[in-house]
Chains A and B, each alone.
Chain A
Amino acid sequence: MAALEPAELLRERRERLEKAYANRAPDRVPLTLLPAPDLAASYAGLTTEEFCFSWEAQVRVAEKWGSDFNVEGVDSLPYFVPGLEMYLLLLAWVEKPEVAAWARFLMGPFHDILQDKYTKWPGRELAPTAHPQFTGGKFMEADEYRFLAEDPLGFVNERVLPRAFGLLSRGRAELYPALVKLGVELQNFSATMAKVGSLSAQLGYPSFPTGWGYAPLDLISDFLRYPTHTMLDLRRHPDDVKAAVESLTPVLRRCVRASTPPPEVAEKAFGTRTVLVFFPLHLNEMLPPKLFEEFYWPSLREVVQEALSLGAKPWIFFEGNFTPFLHYLEDLPKGRVVAWFERTDLRRAREALGDHVVLMGGLPLSLLMHGSREKVYEEACKLLTEVKEPGGFIFAGGQASPTAATRIENLWAVIEATLACGRY
């Protein structure tokens, strides 16, 4: 096969992904590989610490993966920023979206400055080769729901942030220079992303502009009350939780508006009118249907609806096994949502939902990481054959991001399987 020019590759890959996002059948299933930070780093010969804390290293890692895997079969840059979940800051600073947009993920250097209590990092609280981790915490008491409900932004900014971010309770002599430094690091992050974006285009990988969504109850669970407390609150303080969810919902809709470029702007900057809005869901599979219906789904659906009204495509990561809840997706308009499933059986999802949503997903991680190359190829082919029709399928290799112990040859097996069994 003659090598394609990057510009031609870019056009081909973009069209393939656009069609899949539009719930149609391209020439073949697009494949997107997303290595976890420790794998991304170790493959490029770096420690996870170096990858997480050096902007320059991030460009190098993107370049290494982007070049080594720049083959027919791979459709997007195999790279993701080594950041951790920090939607809380997008919410807190939503009135200043130009700042908030860059604080949506917590990067290592931001952690150093902000001294947040949500996350632990390699070379800081963890070993240099460890994976950065979000553990969260309880930064609000059960009797404070009413303050959250009365004034979500005020409560988060005035009460929660000082509890959760060590820096904010320091004296001004320490605080002010640290905030200046944070501004510099946000700028560095933005510049790094611009470099990775242009590198990506040079190598022939398309980028799609992405806004950010969150489920209101997840926001409470992840950043304010901690998941187990939230689960208990649903039964102990149902009315308080409901009032808080109701007043957070319009704020989260606003966060979607603030972080999502309109298709016309996207077209000028990225050459595509496909704009995504990413939703990482956490409590989605953990609540019994009654609580799911009462506390989780209606408010999430409103935020999803906001993304749709902007002409964007909600791209929702359903953590865990969502199988018992699949029928709720029929509530959403046909073909306009990308459902990225983790442990939900994709075959059952296809069976239950037909072509109602665009499906995204992959192989069980332990198979992808530790299975034999032959087995990975065989299972990937089976999955592709059984799920790709009638279109609207994006193959993610694994159910989630493969980590450092992954046999690299297995990633190649996935690519081969995509070429052999992913054609329409």
Chain B
Amino acid sequence: MQLEELVDAILRLDESTALKLAREWLEVGGDPLLLLEAVRRAAQAIGERYERGELFVADLVMAGEILKEVSELVRPLLRGGGGKPVGRLVIGTVQGDIHDIGKNIVVALAEAAGFEVIDLGVDVPPEKFVEAVRRYEPDVVGLSGLLSVSIESMKLTVKALEEAGLRGRVKVIIGGGRVDEEAMKYTGADAWADSAAAGVKIMLSWVGGGERGSP
């Protein structure tokens, strides 16, 4: 089996075929790292298709699920976690907002794209982001929010990072259905995305386009 078939099955969102091909690959002793690399390629291609308007949110959810399931088949076979991550992301839904569907799609796609993700959950106060940045030293901080009130919390979180002297060490991206250029300027973030796919693409460009993670 060629891994391209697996990538194709993922891009067609054909869950059962993708899982079957991944299992077959591992059963005949295929390199798990190469399989993981195929997952990353698929994740990137999914993102590109979404950006071109060929895929919709429900597709990203299905893709995220397949990517997660395939990655989970591989994970137990890898010692040391599966090669070097392309980067580290600390993400959370900001204070006052408890919605997590969008954030969870980002987590699934970012992990599939090779990020190590630390998910702080929902309703995360600024000080918790500060603490997590100190502790994990991520490349990127992702601030998620669905409500328009969350823009205010994003601003406070960026401010808290500044006051803690950490702002210069991380890139900050805000994401959610109601963020835009204006919100980015207002909050002091480095980028914004109203889709998980666009967000992951931006994050990959910050950490070197995913190249560093190739096994």
Contacts and interface: CB of A to CB of B under 8 A. Distances in A.
Q: Do A and B share a complex? A: yes
Contacts of B104: 228
Interface residues of A, number: 39
B77 interface: no
Given A135-B99, A364-B182, A366-B180, A232 B148 contact: no
A201 B61 CA distance: 47
Given A286-B57, A288-B56, A370 B62 contact: no
A291 B59 CA distance: 10
Interface residues of B, number: 31
A135 B65 CA distance: 20
Interface of A: 36, 38, 120, 126-127, 130-131, 133, 135, 227-228, 231-232, 234-236, 283, 285-289, 291, 320, 324, 343, 364-367, 369-371, 400-405
Given A135-B98, A366-B179, A367-B182, A235 B15 contact: yes
Given A288-B55, A400-B148, 20 more contacts: A36-B148, A126-B123, A127-B96, A131-B96, A133-B97, A232-B61, A234-B58, A235-B15, A236-B15, A285-B56, A285-B57, A364-B182, A365-B178, A366-B151, A366-B179, A366-B186, A369-B151, A370-B183, A371-B182, A403-B149
Nearest to A325: B56
A400 B180 CA distance: 14
B62 A131 contact: no
Nearest to B97: A133
Given A227-B101, A366-B182, A133 B58 contact: no
Contact of A403 (B53, B147, B177, B180): B147
B152 interface: yes
Given A133-B147, A286-B56, A405-B152, A231 B98 contact: no
B13 interface: yes
11 contacts: A38-B149, A126-B96, A131-B149, A135-B98, A232-B61, A236-B15, A283-B58, A343-B178, A370-B182, A404-B152, A405-B151
The B interface is mostly helix, strand or loop, or mixed, namely: loop
A287 B58 contact: yes
Contacts of B177: 320, 343
A370 B178 contact: no
B180 A364 contact: yes
B180 A228 contact: no
Contacts of B56: 285-289
Contacts of A36: 148-149
Contacts, number: 88
Nearest to B104: A228
Contact of B99 (A127, A133, A367): A133
Given A288-B55, A366-B179, A371-B182, A231 B61 contact: yes
Nearest to B123: A126
Contacts of B61: 228, 231-232
Contacts of B96: 126-127, 130-131
Contacts of A232: 61-62, 65
Interface in B174-195: 177-180, 182-183, 186, 194
Nearest to B179: A366
Nearest to A131: B149
A287 B57 CA distance: 6
A235 B148 contact: no
A405 B149 contact: yes
Nearest to B13: A235
Nearest to A323: B53
Contact of A400 (B123, B178, B182): B178
Contacts of B186: 366, 370
Interface string B55-99: 111110110010000000000000000000000000000001111
Contact of A366 (B99, B123, B178): B178
Interface string B21-57: 0000000000000000000000000000000010111
A341 to B, nearest CB: 14
A10 B88 CA distance: 59
Contact of B101 (A120, A126, A228): A228
A320 B180 CA distance: 13
Q: Give 4 nearest A-B pairs by CB, closest first.
A: A286-B57, A231-B58, A366-B182, A366-B183
Contacts of B183: 366, 370
A235 B18 CA distance: 14
Contacts of B180: 364, 366
A367 B148 CA distance: 11
Nearest to B58: A231
B181 to A, nearest CB: 8
B178 to A, nearest CB: 6
Nearest to A125: B98
Contacts of B58: 231, 234, 283, 286-288, 291
A234 B194 CA distance: 24
A365 B148 contact: yes
A324 B54 CA distance: 10
Contacts of B178: 343, 365-366, 400
Given A131-B96, A366-B186, A403-B147, A324 B53 contact: yes
A400 B179 CA distance: 13
Nearest to A230: B58
A228 B108 CA distance: 13
Given A343-B177, A405-B152, A231 B62 contact: yes
A297 to B, nearest CB: 14
B101 A288 contact: no
Nearest to A364: B180
Interface string B5-28: 000000001010000000000000
A231 B58 CA distance: 5
B107 to A, nearest CB: 12
Interface in B84-128: 96-99, 101, 104, 123
Interface string B151-164: 11000000000000
